């Protein structure tokens, strides 16, 4: 569908659906529209001023009516309107497959039909509700294309104008009844103007929904988005504990993420030592890959063989069948000077105390605190720590009794760990070690947040350092845990799985810095700025199970109560929660109880069918006991920052007691994107003694963790026919526009004016079936117009004029994916076919396009028969251009080659144009006589023919090419003809080292041997757009013989030495000669570079500007392939 190209080029097109001839259908539709005049819920109404610009303007959408009711299946329009609406659907279906190719996006649905009445603004504006505003915003945000049918009875004018370009003039077109227009509504504002009452029907074609980029919203959508945000804040402020805002559910989700009441706390910094990563930077990346952090207990921790026994009853003789755990490395390393602790004391300190100091300070540092700021601050320390029988007491001791006696009072004291942290850093707030078993980590968060609340006359803490630690230093208690049925024999946590049989041990240390999210400024509550923000702690709750079947038994009612209390404290409803990080101790009984509790509170209570993600960190890193809850919270915070959920590991078959079919739950085994950029999550933990804790956090996808978004490109039009003010100065020629390309061997030919702003040229297609070209002002190659990309197709925008560019338009008629290019048709048109190339100008807008003219005639065929010239570029001629001899009688091109060195590798070049290279279709190691000939084009990719000859050998190369209609037959052959001794010139050439230059102009894509002048090697450089070019030298075409200066950007104004030849490794990287460092150089300036050598070593490199008035010097250098960095047309 070529009409879709109109959307890409100018943003609109008129499509002929034949409705102009269906007056009866249009009249019937007008009669149907009369029914909307009557009173009722679906009558014509005057829309809000916020949506006018997204429709057809104030006059064009003076009154509107929806063809469908709130239920999409409810049809309220008459038969005539429904028929026209079906025409829009058929149009969308037909054009849909072309949108991706032409516009870069897929259209997957359409909005409902909308009836417009053009006329004066009359009546009362219908009030805009939050739900209606949300529907309009969705239409305007995801509606990329608008389809419009003029129903009549009157005619009108459609006025189009690009967004964000106030200089562009409006383009106006007449709309008569039956006219159908398709418009890029994301690029153009649309207004309909008519003096009489006229009806129109429209719909928007929608791209797939998701999280739209606010930067690309149209002005109308931006205003709606701002209105909804302000309205949601008002509704949130009016909410009470008993009355929620009466708005659609999706707006409630948005409201609770953008607005809040009460005091939220912010996580300002955090640090961790937990498997599968030693820090927080790459923790989610490793977790998202499903990395299993559990390993066998290594010898560096303890010798496990004397404790291991595979017998399930081995606990009776103080052994265990468990031999796996997740481990934190480096616990023996400690910077004692950082914390003012002596070497003697640090040697016998519990490693957990050392790790707490390190991880806690890292968390403070990431929050913006250094030692000087921390000293004497009112900061609290809340640490989850096993205060009863820690492993350190059961570690085998050395004989250093003296040291132990000196510091034994504090080295292994559990209660001193939090106090030592406050002491070493000078913190004066509360300092508490909390032991609630596995609930300790989340309990510290609850306590730390409570200490930050301003209540009465109590002075709240400035910040709270919360977290927990558990390092397994001894297997002393493992047999007892096995006896209780807690440990897993296979050595993994199979949480939620049918094979769940217990947990494995895991090391972890997590600390977070928590501060208030808001502050009072001039009597108003505002969010604190200028501080790091990782997540918000929205609410928390702590409960005890009370009297239950046993102290450690799971208790569903208590779990539901603590989850409900935390959600209530956050001011949320259950359906706001996106994921639940469960305690998940891999128990066949406890896991289903916890899943049921989460589903009842977070989904079933609100009758929500949106899946709740059920997560379990223990399946990745084991049970970290006191630090387990902190690890759970770390998981959800980092996952929210990435915009995805962390996956569960070792989940193959769900626990049969978990109803995975009926409950609205999901158990992800891979990363899954959250439904919105921000997400709420609950973290749950339960202690052995019956303490239950739950914390609700809010995280937002961080731009630093996401792929860099593409720059907004709403103004993606190629050419605006309405124009945009005067033509920019310097972009118009004095004598005229000229076209130069492969068809004229880059000789400029004049374009003819067709109108005041249109210039044309008739191009005759050559034997290649493709042509490349640029447009030059006044025939000057230094004032060229070119496309944004090389080999650009027709109907693309124009850049320039500029002094040089290698970008060209390419008129290509060849067929794609042709394997045997010399045996089947390779193009859909014949050589000699004519095309009309046009340059259109409308103010600042310029476009190049072409169209195919009639079939080739004899005159054009004779014109295309102008003989082409072919050259051989080979290793024996330094990859220069050696002309082939044309035998007109035989219709072949030949070259006799004399090898002065072993080898014989070559390609062929047409008309000295490196964009027209001929090459074998296979690489060197796979060549056969049956291989086809590729090209001429620029896709050789290093493929070349090879003689495998010896020095002094002579070969004859033969090229035969013929065209027969659409078939292009090419044949290349070569054969050895003998051997011949070297002449004096060849002997002198063999005695010299060969040099070539490579640099920023092409990175060494094509190497050319430098010309020997008798005293030096020589080449030329034309400076590119930056006014600088850098280069190095290569000796004998060997990448292990690079010659370079000793300084970066070496030039004639500084001292340096010449180094090499040597290998191209890191030692030579960045050490280049650079032309353009002395200040007088500019883009387009040409320089002659001279390379002097002695005894095959480069001794000097110097350059001078070329004053070539006639251009003969540079043209000769270009013909020899020694003009680097220049537009190839020179």
Residues 885-944: tens digit of each pLDDT: 998 777 799 999 999 889 889 999 998 888 899 999 877 555 555 678 888 988 887 789
Please report the pLDDT score of residue 675 as a whole number.
85
Q: What is the 3-class SS of 251-284, one letter each residue?
A: HHHHHHHHCCCCCCEEEEEEEEEECCECCCCCHH
Mean pLDDT over residues 188-212, rounded? 86
Please report the pLDDT score of residue 402 as a whole number.
42
Mean pLDDT over residues 1078-1087, rounded? 86
- Least-confidence region, from 565-574, 639-648, 925-934, 949-958: 925-934
Q: List Cβ<8 Å contacts ≥24 apart for 311-314.
A: 312/489, 314/479, 314/482
Instruction: Determine the 3-state secondary structure of 827 from DSSP.
Output: strand
pLDDT band, residue 840 (cuts 50/70/90): very high
Cα atoms in the Cβ-side hemisphere of radius 13 Å centred on 641: 20
648 closest CA partner among 663, 630, 635:
635
pLDDT band, residue 457 (cuts 50/70/90): confident
Please report the pLDDT score of residue 821 as a whole number.
43
Mean pLDDT over residues 222-236, rounded? 86
Highest mean pLDDT: which range of 9-13, 307-311, 572-576, 749-753? 749-753
555 closest CA partner among 688, 696, 658:
688
Cα atoms in the Cβ-side hemisphere of radius 13 Å centred on 1094: 4
Please report the pLDDT score of residue 740 as a whole number.
93
With a pLDDT cut of 90, the percent of the chain lying above it is: 41
Q: How far apart are CA 732 and CA 442, in angstroms?
A: 71
Q: In degrees rounded to 5, what are phi and psi of residue 1023?
A: -70, 140
With a pLDDT cut of 70, the percent of the chain lying above it is: 90
The CA-based dihedral angle spanning residues 809, 812, 817, 822, taken in that order and rounded to the nearest 10 degrees: -130
Please report the pLDDT score of residue 172 as a whole number.
93
Look up residue 658 and give its two tokens. Answer: 């978990």
Please check the confidence at residue 400 and state whether its pLDDT lies above 60.
Answer: no
Mean pLDDT over residues 990-994, rounded? 90
Please report the pLDDT score of residue 691 as a whole number.
93
Please check the confidence at residue 1116 and state whether its pLDDT lies above 50.
Answer: yes
Mean pLDDT over residues 438-457, rounded? 91
Please report the pLDDT score of residue 1101 as a whole number.
95
pTM: 0.74
Instruction: Determine the 3-state secondary structure of 246 from DSSP.
Output: coil
Please report the pLDDT score of residue 924 as a whole number.
58
Look up residue 742 and give its two tokens. Answer: 């492969």
At 520-561, the pLDDT tens digits run 787 777 888 889 999 999 999 999 988 887 777 888 999 999
Q: How far apart are CA 472 and CA 282, in angstroms?
A: 24
Q: β-strand 612-615 against 577-581: which pairing, if any?
A: parallel
CA distances in angstroms from 975 to 212, 424, 885, 947, listed in the order given:
64, 86, 16, 8
Mean pLDDT of the chain: 85
624 closest CA partner among 974, 317, 1059, 325:
325
Q: How many other C-beta atoms can be found within 10 angstroms of the C-beta atom of residue 865?
A: 13
719 closest CA partner among 185, 174, 162:
162
* Rg of the chain (C-alpha set): 39
Which residues does 490 contact at the CB level (< 8 Å), separation at least 6?
499, 501
Instruction: Determine the 3-state secondary structure of 813 from DSSP.
Output: coil
Please report the pLDDT score of residue 405 as a whole number.
44
Please report the pLDDT score of residue 266 as a whole number.
94
CA distances in angstroms from 759 to 100, 809, 841, listed in the order given:
31, 16, 9
At 479-519, the pLDDT tens digits run 988 898 889 889 999 999 999 999 999 999 999 999 998 88
At 260-296, the pLDDT tens digits run 777 889 999 999 998 877 788 777 778 778 788 898 9
Please report the pLDDT score of residue 396 as a whole number.
59
- Least-confidence region, from 94-108, 143-157, 593-607, 761-775: 94-108
Contact 830, 966 (CB under 8 A): yes
Mean pLDDT over residues 470-481, rounded? 88
Please check the confidence at residue 1092 and state whether its pLDDT lies above 90.
Answer: yes
Please report the pLDDT score of residue 605 as a whole number.
75
Please report the pLDDT score of residue 913 as a whole number.
86
Contact 948, 904 (CB under 8 A): yes
DSSP state of 108: -
89 closest CA partner among 152, 147, 167:
147
Highest mean pLDDT: which range of 530-544, 815-829, 960-974? 530-544
Q: How far apart are CA 617 and CA 637, in angstroms?
A: 13
- Least-confidence region, from 63-77, 201-215, 408-422, 814-828: 814-828
Q: How many other C-beta atoms can be found within 10 angstroms of the C-beta atom of residue 689?
A: 14
The CA-based dihedral angle spanning residues 1115, 1120, 1126, 1130, taken in that order and rounded to the nearest 10 degrees: 40
495 closest CA partner among 484, 510, 506:
506
Host H or E run for residue 1061? strand 1058-1062
Look up residue 989 and give its two tokens. Answer: 């050439």
Look up residue 955 and give its two tokens. Answer: 């070969």
Q: How far apart are CA 66 and CA 64, in angstroms?
A: 7
Instruction: Determine the 3-state secondary structure of 211 from DSSP.
Output: coil
Instruction: For the sheet with 379-384, list strands across it.
Output: 431-434, 379-384, 463-470, 508-516, 265-274, 535-544, 691-700, 678-686, 577-581, 612-615, 665-666
Given CA atoms 1011, 1016, 1017, 1018 in this order, what sign does their dihedral have? negative
DSSP state of 794: S
Mean pLDDT over residues 998-1024, rounded? 87
Mean pLDDT over residues 1077-1089, rounded? 88
Please report the pLDDT score of residue 281 as a whole number.
78
Please report the pLDDT score of residue 439 as a whole number.
93
Q: β-strand 143-153 against 198-206: which pairing, if any?
A: antiparallel
Please check the confidence at residue 824 and state whether its pLDDT lies above 60.
Answer: no
Mean pLDDT over residues 235-240, rounded? 77
Task: Select the more confidently predicted residue: 1115 or 556.
Answer: 556
Cis peptide before 801 (omega within 30 of 0): yes
Please report the pLDDT score of residue 561 as a whole number.
95
Domains belonging to the chain, first-starting first, are 4-208 (2.60.120.620), 267-705 (3.40.47.10), 737-808+833-851 (no CATH), 870-982 (2.60.40), 992-1124 (no CATH)
Please report the pLDDT score of residue 40 as a whole number.
54
Q: Any idea what the Cα angle at residue 922 is, between residues 919 and 925, rounded to 5°?
A: 115
Please report the pLDDT score of residue 1 as a whole number.
47
- Least-confidence region, from 79-88, 240-249, 754-763: 240-249
Q: Any idea what the Cα angle at residue 525 is, between residues 522 and 527, rounded to 5°?
A: 115
Contact 727, 737 (CB under 8 A): no
Q: How far apart are CA 648 and CA 630, in angstroms?
A: 17
């Amino acid at each position: 569908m070529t009409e879709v190209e109109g959307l890409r080029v100018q943003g609109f097109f008129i499509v002929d659906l034949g409705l102009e001839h269906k007056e009866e259908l249009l009249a019937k539709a007008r009669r149907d529209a009369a029914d909307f005049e009557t009173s009722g819920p679906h009558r014509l109404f005057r829309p809000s001023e916020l949506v006018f610009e997204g429709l057809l303007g104030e006059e064009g959408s003076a009154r509107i009516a929806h063809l469908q009711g709130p239920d999409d299946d409810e049809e309220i329009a008459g038969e005539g309107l429904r028929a026209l609406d079906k025409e829009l659907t058929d149009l969308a279906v037909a054009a849909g497959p072309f949108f991706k190719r032409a516009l870069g996006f897929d259209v997957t649905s359409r909005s409902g039909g909308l009836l417009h009445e053009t006329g004066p603004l009359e009546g009362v504006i219908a009030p805009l509700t939050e739900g209606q505003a949300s529907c309009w915003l969705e239409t305007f945000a995801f509606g990329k294309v608008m389809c419009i049918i003029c129903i009549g009875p009157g005619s009108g004018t459609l006025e189009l104008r690009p967004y964000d370009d106030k200089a562009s003039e409006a383009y106006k077109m007449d709309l008569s009844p039956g006219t159908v227009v398709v418009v890029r509504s994301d690029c153009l504002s649309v207004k309909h103007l008519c003096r009489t009452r006229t009806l129109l029907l429209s719909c928007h074609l929608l791209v797939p929904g998701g999280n739209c980029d606010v930067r690309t919203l149209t002005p109308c959508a931006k205003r709606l988005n701002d209105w909804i945000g302000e309205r949601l804040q008002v509704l949130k402020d009016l909410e009470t504990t008993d009355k929620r805002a009466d708005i659609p559910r999706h707006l409630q989700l948005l409201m609770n993420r953008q607005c809040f009441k009460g005091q939220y706390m912010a996580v300002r910094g955090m640090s961790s030592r937990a498997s599968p990563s030693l820090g927080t930077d790459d923790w989610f990346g490793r977790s998202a890959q499903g990395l299993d952090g559990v390993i066998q207990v290594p010898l560096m921790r303890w010798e496990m063989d004397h404790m291991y026994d595979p017998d399930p009853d081995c606990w009776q003789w103080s052994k265990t069948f468990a031999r796996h755990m997740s481990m934190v490395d480096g616990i023996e390393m400690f910077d004692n000077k950082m914390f003012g602790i002596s070497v003697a004391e640090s040697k016998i300190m519990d490693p957990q105390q050392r790790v707490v100091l390190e991880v806690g300070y890292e968390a403070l540092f990431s929050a913006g605190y250094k030692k000087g700021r921390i000293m004497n601050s009112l900061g609290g320390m809340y640490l989850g720590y096993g205060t009863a029988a820690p492993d350190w007491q059961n570690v085998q001791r050395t004989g250093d009794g003296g040291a132990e006696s000196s510091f034994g009072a504090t080295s292994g004291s559990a209660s001193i760990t939090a106090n030592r942290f406050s002491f070493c850093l000078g913190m004066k707030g509360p300092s508490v070690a909390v032991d609630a078993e596995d609930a300790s980590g989340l309990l510290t968060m609850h306590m730390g947040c409570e200490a930050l609340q301003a209540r009465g006359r109590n002075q709240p803490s400035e910040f709270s350092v919360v977290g927990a630690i558990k390092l397994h230093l001894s297997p002393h208690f493992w047999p007892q845990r096995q006896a209780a049925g807690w440990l897993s024999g296979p050595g993994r946590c199979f949480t939620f799985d049918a094979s769940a049989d217990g947990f494995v041990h895991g090391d972890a240390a997590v600390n977070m810095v928590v501060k208030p999210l808001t502050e009072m400024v001039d009597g108003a509550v505002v969010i604190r700025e200028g501080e790091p923000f990782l997540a918000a702690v929205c609410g928390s709750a702590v409960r005890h199970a009370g009297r239950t079947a046993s102290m450690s038994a799971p208790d569903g009612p208590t779990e539901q109560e603590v989850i409900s209390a935390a959600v209530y404290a956050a001011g949320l409803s259950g359906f706001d929660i996106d994921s639940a990080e469960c305690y998940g101790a891999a128990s066949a009984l406890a896991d289903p109880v916890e899943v049921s509790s989460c589903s009842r509170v977070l989904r079933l209570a609100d009758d929500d069918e949106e899946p709740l993600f059920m997560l379990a960190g223990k399946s990745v890193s084991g049970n970290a006991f006191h630090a387990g809850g902190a690890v759970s919270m770390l998981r959800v915070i980092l996952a929210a920052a990435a915009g995805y959920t962390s996956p569960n590991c070792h989940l193959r078959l769900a626990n049969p007691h978990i109803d995975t079919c009926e409950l609205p739950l999901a158990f992800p085994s891979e990363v899954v994107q959250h439904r919105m950029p921000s997400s709420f999550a609950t973290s749950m933990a339960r202690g052995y003694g019956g303490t239950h804790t739950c914390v609700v956090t809010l995280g937002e996808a961080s731009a630093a963790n996401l792929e860099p978004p593409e720059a907004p490109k709403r103004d993606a039009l190629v050419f605006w026919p309405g124009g945009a003010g005067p033509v920019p100065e310097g972009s118009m020629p004095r004598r005229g526009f000229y076209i130069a390309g492969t068809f004229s061997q880059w000789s400029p030919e004049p374009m003819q004016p067709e109108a005041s702003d249109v210039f044309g040229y008739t191009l005759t297609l050559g034997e290649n079936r493709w042509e490349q070209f640029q447009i030059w002002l006044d025939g000057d190659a230094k004032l060229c117009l070119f496309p944004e990309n090389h080999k650009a197709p027709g109907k693309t925008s124009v850049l320039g004029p500029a002094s040089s560019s290698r970008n060209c338009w390419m008129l290509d008629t060849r067929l794609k994916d042709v394997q045997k290019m010399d045996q089947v048709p390779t193009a859909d048109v014949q050589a000699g076919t004519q095309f009309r190339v046009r340059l259109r100008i409308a103010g600042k807008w310029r476009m190049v396009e072409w169209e195919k003219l009639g079939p080739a005639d004899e005159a054009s065929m004779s014109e295309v028969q102008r003989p082409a010239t072919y050259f051989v570029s080979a290793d024996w001629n330094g990859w220069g251009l050696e002309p082939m001899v044309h035998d007109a009688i035989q219709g072949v091109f030949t070259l006799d080659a004399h090898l002065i060195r072993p080898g014989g590798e070559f390609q062929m070049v047409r008309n000295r144009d490196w964009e027209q290279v001929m090459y074998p279709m296979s690489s060197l190691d796979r060549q056969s006589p049956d291989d086809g000939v590729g090209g001429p084009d620029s896709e050789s990719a290093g493929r070349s023919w090879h003689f495998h000859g010896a020095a002094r050998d002579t070969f004859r190369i033969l090229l035969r090419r013929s065209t027969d209609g659409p078939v292009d037959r090419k044949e290349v052959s070569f054969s050895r003809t003998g051997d011949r001794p070297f002449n004096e010139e060849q002997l002198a050439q063999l005695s010299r080292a060969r040099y070539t230059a490579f640099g920023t102009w092409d990175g060494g894509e094509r190497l050319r041997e430098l010309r020997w002048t008798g005293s030096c090697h020589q080449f030329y450089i034309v400076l590119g757009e930056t006014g600088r070019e850098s280069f190095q030298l290569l000796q004998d075409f060997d990448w292990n013989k690079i010659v370079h200066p000793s300084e970066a950007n070496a030039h004639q104004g500084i001292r340096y030495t010449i180094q090499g030849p040597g290998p191209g490794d890191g030692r030579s990287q960045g050490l280049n000669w650079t032309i353009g460092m002395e200040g007088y150089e500019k883009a387009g300036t040409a320089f002659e570079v001279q390379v002097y050598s002695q005894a095959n070593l480069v001794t000097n490199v110097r350059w001078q500007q070329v004053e070539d008035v006639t251009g003969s010097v540079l043209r000769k250098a270009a013909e020899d392939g020694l003009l680097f960095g220049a537009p190839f047309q020179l």
